[in-house]
Structure 1
Amino acid sequence: MQPTTDQTGRITAASFLVTGGAGFIGSHIAERLLAAGARKVRVLDNMTTGHFRNIAPFVNHPRFEYVQGDIRDITACNTACKGIDFVLHHAASGSVPDSINDPITTNNINATGFLNMLVAAHAAQVKRFIYASSASIFTDNQTTPLAGLPGNPESPYAVSKYVNELYADVFSRLHGMETIGLRYSNVFGQRHNPLSEYAAVIPKFVMQLIKHESPVIDVDDEYSHDFIYIDNVVQANMLAVLTTNAKAVNQVYNITFEERTSLNQLAKYLREFLSSFDQSIAGVKIMNAFTQKHNVHPYAYIQKSKKLLGYNPSYSLRDGLLKSAGWYWAYLPRFVEEAVTKKQQRQQVAAVSA
């Protein structure tokens, strides 16, 4: 999206805090804000899953600040919020399997950490608090989450994201805070964290194809997914910052492209684009071994996002994969190796602490 003159003026006059700003989504938001002329963009990240590489392109920008800190530390949250007009909260533990294996840590980061940030933002009198929720709060048998009401969350991760929405609503009503929640579907693109909740199947298939291994589709073809390219997510965040529509604040929005894609079609797209770098990938077979029957995956409608925020995503799954295939080919193997090493180091620290 191209900001209007008035919108550009409001961006250049404002200071922004992006929590989790060294991560996949947060770094893209920080970069876009700087490109739009923001007076200051501060990133708060503890580098647990984030990486300096993600902020390297703009780390020396004169209006950029990096603060090492953890949202579980209320003092760090208070310090990070000082002098800030807009908070874009994207720090989180984003792994469903990790949330099942260690729900306490997930809750501490995603629920308590979120509450810390709300309290700090309220104390700092920020103008608006924008945060990442997740389409995972919907269950597989919710085929039309049009009303925006979650079903029964199926993981501690999903519970924590629903709790975020409840806390934001309470702070809006009790304290008059402006909050906007963005429920992302499966986000993908450059800087994709291969171990995150977002579109985990994409790096899995990419790595298999790079190794000339056959992706195995083990669920029936009716089990379709909503994928969303990172530039569409950044657009939604910019709109949440810039909206002057009073009806648009204190709301939660579904953020996706509003298309459904089977895993079989996804694998075919990836095979097509990656074969540009290695022609032999074109001959890799996609294996269908249906062993599971799922209910139809919930379909995230975006009428509300379009009407109130003016959200109009530009990139389909195919468009986004075409733009990011080069990155996946060049950088994903290194990202996977480093992400696995980081996870092992965290597990070792946790084992020693226990």
Structure 2
Amino acid sequence: MKEKHTPSVRISGGRFMVIGGASLVGSATVEELLRCGASEVRLFDNFSFGSSDAISHIISDPRVTVVSGDILRLPQLLAAAEGLDGIVHLAAFMTLSMDQDPWTGLNVNIQGVQNVVEACRACKIRKLIFASSNAVYGYGESVKGDLVETTPFHSVGAPPAAILYGASKIIGEQICRHAYQKHGQHYVVLRYSTVYGERQHYRAANALYIVETQDAVKKGYRPKVVGDGSETKHFVYVGDLARANRMALESDATDVVVNTSGPEPITTLELVRLVADLSGRPDMEPELVRPDPGKVRLTSGGAFRIDHAAAKNAIGWAPEVSMREGLKRFLAWRDRTEEKISQS
């Protein structure tokens, strides 16, 4: 029997938990909820991938509680979820981690989601926001054109770890859907495109293009582009995603899945040139190199665009930060961080 309460959750005065809160998107989401007046935000993380550095700027806020826990341990989730209005679930193995340890990755990405859903039901959480991925569309030459929420999954020729990751996200979405249909658990699934921004982690294969390029340019080396540079990637700035998480909680939407992508796609060659330009070396022309067959890397195949019109209709969200502006902020943050380290 479905619950009668509204799926809209008021942020001001509300109590929330961000699972995977010590991550890139997690720390930004905690910030966003605090900025909008949340009375309490519990930051749940086992710190296997999350970093205490990513949350050092927010843990002094008296409204923040850091909970060290594991989503594979249901009793820990049940205890942490008591008395909350909403949960944002971000914890997951990504492709590079999945390649190193696929069994644990599948447990985290599937059983972990089931545990989160069970905690939501048991603790009567009003709304769950689940972070999925554009990996649900797959990889390869068939992935092209506008990718919308009904685009099917393509797997031919992709690295196994990438397929395992994408498939695990599809299953996670369906676990949420099943809980809504059977028990009325309100949820919104946000399919993130590749995230970048301040406090960037190093688990996202595509985002590594950004940091590797800046590092090479700073050392005076030509940045490398794998292939001919025509591969398309669609990034989204971390602040825009934090806002999407908050808006999904606030919205009347439930039982929906929407893309949350950046303003426009970019080719690998355009990206590397832009990073070089923002790093003060627009003259540093990228070097084209052949792919390393032994290295996991996520190729898109054809030119594509991840359409986010459905997110505007469902939760009122659209990206605001351009790739150039977002990269400018991210690279400046990296420079400041390195300067602090060198002075310590």
TM-score normalised over the length of structure 1:
0.84
The answer to whether 1:265 aligns with 2:270 is: yes
Moved more, 281-290 or 99-108: 281-290
Gaps spanning 5+ residues in structure 1: where? 1-8, 276-280, 336-354
Q: Which residue of 2 aligns with 1:249?
A: 254
Determine which structure has the larger helix proportion and give its number.
1
| Aligned match of 1:106 | 105
RMSD, aligned CA: 2.2
Structure 2 residue 117 is matched with structure 1 residue 127: no
Answer whether contact 1:218 1:290 (CA < 8 A) is retained.
Answer: yes
The match for 2:176 is 168
Letter in 1 for 2:118: V
Q: In 2 relative to 1, CA 291–19 (structure 1 residues): closer, same or farther, beyond 3 Å?
A: closer
Distance change (3 Å), C-alpha of 1:127 and 1:99 = same
Q: 1:184 aligns with which of 183, 192, 198?
A: 192
The alpha carbon displacement at 1:158 in A equals 1.2
Match of 2:323 in 1: 317
* Structure 1 residue 195 displacement after superposition: 2.5
Q: Please report how far the alpha carbon of residue 294 of structure 1 lies from its aligned counterpart in structure 2 after TM superposition.
A: 6.4
CA distance in 2, matches of 1:294, 1:195: 18
TM-score (norm 2): 0.86
1:142 aligns with 2:143: yes
Name the SS of the counterpart of 1:57 in structure 2: coil
Q: Could you tell me the percent identity over the aligned residues?
A: 26
Q: 2:302 aligns with which of 293, 296, 302?
A: 296
Higher relative contact order, structure no. (Cα contacts within 8 Å, ≥ 6 residues apart): 2
TM-superposed deviation, 1:86: 0.3
CA deviation vs aligned residue, 1:231-273 (integer Å, no higher than 9, x gap): 11112111101112xxx21111111124121111111111111
Once the two structures are TM-superposed, the CA of residue 197 in structure 1 deviates from its matched residue by 4.7
Amino acid at match of 2:314: L
- Relative to structure 1, the CA distance from residue 125 to residue 14 in structure 2 (aligned partners, 3 Å threshold; closer, same or farther) is same
Give the deviation of 1:218 after TM superposition.
2.0
Q: Trace 1:1-354 onto structure 2 (pairs within 5 A).
A: 10-94=10-94, 96-139=95-138, 140=140, 141-143=142-144, 144-153=146-155, 154-197=162-205, 199-244=207-252, 248-275=253-280, 281-289=281-289, 295-331=301-337
User: How far apart in 1 are the matches of 2:70 and 2:235?
Assistant: 29
Return the alpha-carbon distance in structure 1 between the equivalents of residues 68 and 149 of structure 2.
39
8 Å CA contact retained: 2:273, 2:282: no
* Amino acid paired to 1:110: N
Over 4 Å off, 4+ runs: 290-294, 332-335
Q: Against the structure 1 CA distance between its residues 10 and 90, is the aligned structure 2 distance closer, same or farther, given a 3 Å change threshold?
A: same
How far the C-alpha of 1:290 sits from its partner, in A, is: 5.8
Change (3 A) 1:284 1:334: farther
CA distance in 1, matches of 2:329, 2:217: 18
CA displacement, residues 205-247 of structure 1 (integer Å, 9 cap, x when unaligned): 2222222222211223331110111111112111101112xxx
Aligned to 1:338: none
Check whether the contact 1:185–1:198 (CA below 8 A) recurs between aligned residues.
Answer: no
1:6 alignment partner in structure 2: none
Give the Å deviation of 1:100. Answer: 2.6
AA matched with 1:173: Q
Counterpart CA distance in 1 for 2:319 and 2:300 is: 28
Partners of 1:288 and 1:225 in 2: how far apart? 17
One-letter identity of the residue aligned with 2:219: K
Structure 2 stretches lacking a partner, 5+ long: 1-8, 156-161, 293-298
1:90 maps to a residue whose letter is L
